């Protein structure tokens, strides 16, 4: 075939396959048999193999899965993907409605949508072409999973309009796909997924897109992240526009005029929930009018104009087979109920926390009891109560031991506490749990060092304290199960990178009693170096806002320990940073800063720092960062490739700076 003929046919196949794909996966109304669609797809793939230059990024052939990746790249979200605050009962919703009306007046409508139980993703388009898809991550930074998202056939690779825009959606696994996947895994003697959400998340984080392509995932797009020049005035109008340009939105949504209508819809879908072809765990209520959304604004974590109603936890009955004890990093013994496996809220539950001995006594729990369990917030399994009438007389009382099950040291109960505690600092369970905490996301954040790898390293006697992590050698890691050349290299790089962390991460990672992530940041900012904190007195600590007597005592006691000071010296010798790297704020700095009290919008890409770093600098100087430009915006800082926000700022005569002007102010 001549190239010109092939080019014409490829274009025709693009149009046909995109149309048939849209009819099948978005409209649920296929116009041709699957066999005919497959035939056309094979023809396209063959033509692209014959003429590689005709293969484009928006080709329907891209949905079968491309080349496997070595790792996922980090993606900084232009607009943060904030979480929603939760409502658990009718009164929570009425309180939300009252706050909204107090802020914007009585003329309020709500768009109510089903809360799909999946994985939140962001999709970015340039001139109508899909260019990037990312996970939510921590809300500010996610992972680039574009190749896996291309395998979801309801995601358009080219829009019906040549718009540059970013949309948000929930990728999920339909119930039928989930059942098939787990049946296949059982047939291959693989562990089945616990629920469709985990299956969807696991599929989208496969390094080989061909695996994701086989999982039959789907998506509902639920918002336009940046309205820009599109010109819609309400959320419901935005959803209709998304339908028109090729996206799949959930049609079970409704615009409600009152909070009573919202509550009626909740009751309706609580009944309909089992009949839906996908899992939901609640409904999302949003103020429909976009101007009212802007007026309501945001808290640090969530928008004030939306709330997620979580369905009541499902309760089921099962048998408590035994009670197991675990020792945490602080030495606290936690009893856990071992249960006959039972399905609760979409997952198979085999264990449930019993918290402490007092709770076991209070609920009169015995080994062998028939118990009612639920998932608190649809996440953590817990025993609600015992069905006493089901007892046969064979049930046995449970008694806490007097010795630690890990190291056989005598257990103690500290005055004022309900928990039994092992106080042996060399208890292997405490050391192992402390290591797991040290590498966790909010502490030193060492990618690849999860609980499994830490346990392996500990059991093989390769690590005994956190300093040993920085002494690990390549050949030691290669000898571990499931550790190849690439994963070993990545892990060693992640360990090396963690040495550069700011002091607050190290402080939190060390696990000083009563010192959480927020307190660690406060301490690091105040003292600036580990050395100054080590020599701090109780009086100096108490003088700091947010540091109380109990925490101050704990910090002073911790740094009195010779072993602790030896460990810190060893970490220092190994190259671990001991200084605060953030912006140190003072009242005078904030008061004198240009940014104090100002509302600032960041847009485009900066060369000298990330958007999150710029945000931290501005907030440290008393500024407030928002995601959209309005008449209330004081300043827009435009980096490279700034788009609609810059244009809107110019239309509204809002002051605009470039990156150089921003840096000059930071260094003033």
Tell me what the mean pLDDT of segment 576-597 comes to: 75
Dump pLDDT digits (tens) for 619-667: 777 788 887 888 889 999 988 777 778 888 888 889 999 888 888 887 6
Token pair recorded at residue 196 = 């469709």
Whether the pLDDT of residue 313 is over 60: the answer is yes
Domain layout of the chain by residue ranges: 3-64, 86-310, 315-412, 428-498, 503-573, 587-666
Taking the C-alpha atoms of residue 356 and residue 362, their distance in angstroms, rounded to an integer, is 10
500 conformational bin, left if phi > 0, alpha if psi -120 to 50, beta if neither: alpha
Helix and strand totals (H; E) in the chain: 26, 22
- Dig out the tokens for 559 from the structure: 């740094």
Task: State the pLDDT at residue 668.
Answer: 61
Taking residues 85-100, report their average pLDDT. 92
Q: What is the mean pLDDT of the chain?
A: 87
Q: Residue 538 pLDDT more than 80? A: yes
Radius of gyration of the chain (CA): 28
Q: If pLDDT is split at 50, 70 and 90, which confidence band does 152 have?
A: very high
Q: Residues 605, 644: contact at Cβ < 8 Å?
A: no
Q: Do 428-498 and 503-573 have matching folds?
A: yes
pLDDT digits (tens, 9 = 90+) for 443-497: 999 988 888 899 999 999 999 999 999 999 999 999 888 888 888 999 999 999 9
CATH number belonging to the domain at 503-573, selected among 1.10.10.10, 3.30.1300.10, 1.10.150.20, 3.30.420.40? 1.10.150.20
Q: Which two tokens stand for residue 46?
A: 């063959």
CATH of region 315-412, choose from 3.40.1030.10, 3.40.50.720, 2.40.50.140, 1.20.1730.10: 2.40.50.140
Handedness of CA 377, 379, 385, 390 (dihedral sign): positive
pLDDT reported for residue 28: 63
pLDDT score recorded for residue 68: 53
CA-CA distance, 99 to 290, in Å (whole number)? 17
> Could you tell me which residue, 43 or 617, shows the higher pLDDT?
43
Least confident range from 10-24, 52-66, 102-116: namely 52-66
Residue identified by tokens 């369990």 is 373
Structure tokens at 247: 């996206």
pLDDT band at 102 (very low <50, low <70, confident <90, very high): very high
Q: For the packed helices 503-510 and 428-438, what is the interaxial angle rounded to 10 degrees? A: 160
Report the DSSP beta bridge partners of residue 142: 75
Of the ranges 59-73, 106-120, 436-450, 485-499, which one carries the lowest mean pLDDT score?
59-73
Phi first, then psi: give them for residue 128, nearest 5 degrees. Answer: 85, 0
For residues 307 and 94, give the distance between their C-alpha atoms in angstroms, rounded to a whole number: 11
Question: Would you place residue 25 in the very low, low, confident or very high pLDDT band (cuts 50, 70, 90)?
Answer: low
pTM as predicted: 0.55
CATH of domain 86-310: 3.30.470.30
Whether 66 has a pLDDT exceeding 60, the answer reads: no
More confident residue, 367 or 79: 367
Enumerate the active-site residues: 115
DSSP state of 313: P
High-pLDDT (> 70) share of the chain, %: 94
Pick the CATH number of 3-64 from 3.30.470.10, 1.10.1610.10, 1.10.3720.10, 1.10.287.610: 1.10.287.610
Mean pLDDT for the stretch of residues 499-523: 90
| Residue 586 pLDDT > 70 | no
| Helix pair angle (517-527, 503-510), 10° resolution | 130
Dihedral sign for Cα atoms in the order 27, 28, 32, 34: positive
- CATH fold for domain 587-666: Rossmann fold (3.40.50)
Taking residues 495-501, report their average pLDDT.
95
**Could you tell me the fold of the domain covering 428-498?**
DNA polymerase; domain 1 (1.10.150)
What values do phi and psi take at 537, rounded to 5? -90, 165
* C-alpha span between 591 and 536 (Å, rounded): 28
Please list the alpha-helical segments (H only) found in 396-484: 428-438, 451-459, 466-469, 474-478
340: which DSSP letter? E
H-type alpha helices, 462-548:
466-469, 474-478, 485-498, 503-510, 517-527, 530-534, 538-542
Q: Each residue of 199-209: pLDDT tens digit?
A: 888 888 887 88
Q: Is residue 107 predicted with pLDDT exceeding 80?
A: yes
Residue 347 three-state SS: strand
pLDDT at 307: 95
Residues 6+ apart with CB under 8 A from 550: 514
| DSSP run (H or E) holding 224 | strand 218-224
Of 38-42, 454-458, 537-541, least confident by mean pLDDT is 38-42
Read off the pLDDT of residues 171-192 as tens digits, 9 standing for 90 and up. Answer: 999 999 998 998 888 777 777 7
Beta carbons of 359 and 371 less than 8 angstroms apart: no
Is the pLDDT at 615 greater than 90? The verdict is: no
Burial of 62 (0-12, 13-18, 19+ CB in 10 A): buried
Q: How far is it, in rounded angstroms, from Cα 509 to Cα 433?
A: 11
Average pLDDT over residues 380-405: 91
Measured distance CA(489)–CA(542) in Å, rounded: 44
Q: What is the 3-state secondary structure (H, E, C) of 125-142?
A: EECCEEEEEEECCCCCEE
């Amino acid at each position: 075939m001549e190239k010109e003929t092939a080019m014409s046919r490829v274009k025709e196949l693009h149009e046909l396959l995109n149309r048939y794909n849209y009819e099948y996966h978005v409209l649920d109304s296929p116009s041709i048999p699957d066999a005919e669609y497959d035939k056309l797809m094979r023809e396209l793939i063959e033509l692209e193999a014959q003429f590689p230059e005709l293969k484009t990024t928006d080709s329907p052939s891209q949905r079968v899965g491309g080349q496997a990746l070595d790792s996922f790249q980090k993606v900084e979200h232009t607009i943060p993907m904030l979480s929603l605050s939760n409502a658990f009962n009718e009164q929570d919703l009425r309180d939300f409605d009252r706050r909204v009306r107090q802020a914007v007046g009585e003329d309020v409508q709500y768009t109510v949508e089903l809360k799909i139980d999946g994985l939140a993703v962001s999709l970015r388009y340039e001139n109508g072409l899909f260019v990037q898809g990312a996970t939510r991550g921590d809300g500010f930074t996610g992972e680039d999973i574009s190749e896996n998202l291309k395998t979801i056939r309801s995601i358009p690779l080219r829009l019906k309009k040549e718009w540059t825009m970013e949309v948000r959606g929930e990728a999920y696994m339909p119930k039928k796909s989930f059942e098939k996947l787990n049946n296949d895994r059982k047939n291959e003697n693989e562990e089945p997924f616990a629920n469709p959400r985990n299956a969807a998340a696991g599929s989208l984080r496969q390094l080989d897109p061909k695996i994701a392509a086989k999982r039959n995932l789907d998506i509902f797009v639920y918002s336009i992240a940046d309205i820009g020049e599109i010109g819609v005035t309400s959320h419901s109008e935005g959803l209709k526009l998304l339908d028109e340009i090729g996206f799949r939105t959930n049609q079970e949504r409704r615009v409600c005029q009152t909070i009573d209508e919202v509550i009626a819809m909740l009751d309706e879908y609580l009944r309909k929930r089992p009949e839906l072809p996908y899992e939901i765990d609640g409904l999302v209520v949003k103020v429909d009018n976009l101007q009212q959304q802007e007026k309501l604004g945001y808290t640090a974590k969530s928008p004030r104009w939306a709330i997620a109603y979580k369905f009541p936890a499902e309760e089921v009955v099962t048998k408590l087979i035994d009670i197991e004890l675990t020792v945490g990093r602080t030495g606290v013994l936690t009893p856990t109920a071992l249960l006959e496996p039972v399905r609760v809220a979409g997952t198979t539950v085999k264990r449930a926390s019993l918290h402490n001995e007092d709770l076991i006594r209070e609920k009169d729990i015995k080994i062998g009891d028939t118990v009612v369990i639920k998932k608190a917030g649809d996440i953590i399994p817990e025993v609600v109560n015992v069905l006493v009438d089901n007892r046969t007389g064979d049930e046995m009382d449970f008694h806490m031991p007097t010795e630690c099950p890990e190291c056989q040291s005598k257990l103690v109960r500290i005055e004022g506490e309900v928990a039994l505690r092992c106080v042996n600092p060399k208890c292997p369970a405490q050391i192992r749990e402390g290591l797991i905490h040290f590498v966790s996301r909010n502490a030193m954040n060492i990618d690849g060092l999860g609980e499994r790898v830490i346990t392996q390293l500990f059991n093989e006697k390769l690590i005994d304290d956190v300093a040993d992590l920085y002494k690990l050698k390549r050949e030691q890691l290669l000898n571990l199960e499931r550790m190849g050349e690439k994963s070993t290299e990545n892990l060693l790089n992640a360990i090396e990178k963690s040495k550069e962390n700011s002091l607050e991460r190290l402080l939190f990672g060390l696990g000083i009693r009563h010192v959480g992530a927020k307190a660690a940041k406060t301490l690091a900012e105040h003292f600036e170096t580990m050395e100054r904190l080590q020599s701090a007195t109780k009086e100096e600590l108490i003088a700091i806002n947010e540091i109380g007597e109990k925490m101050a005592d704990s910090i002073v006691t911790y740094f009195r320990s010779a072993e602790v000071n030896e460990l810190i010296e060893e970490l220092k010798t190994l190259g671990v940073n001991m200084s605060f790297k953030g912006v140190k704020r003072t009242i005078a700095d904030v008061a004198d800063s240009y940014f104090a009290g100002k509302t600032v919008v960041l847009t485009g890409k900066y060369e000298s720092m990330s958007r999150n770093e710029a945000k931290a600098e501005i907030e440290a100087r008393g500024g407030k960062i928002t995601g959209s430009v309005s008449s209330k915006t004081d300043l827009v800082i435009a980096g490279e490739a700034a788009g609609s926000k810059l244009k809107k700022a110019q239309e509204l005569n809002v002051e605009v700076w470039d990156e150089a002007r921003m840096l000059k102010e930071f260094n003033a």
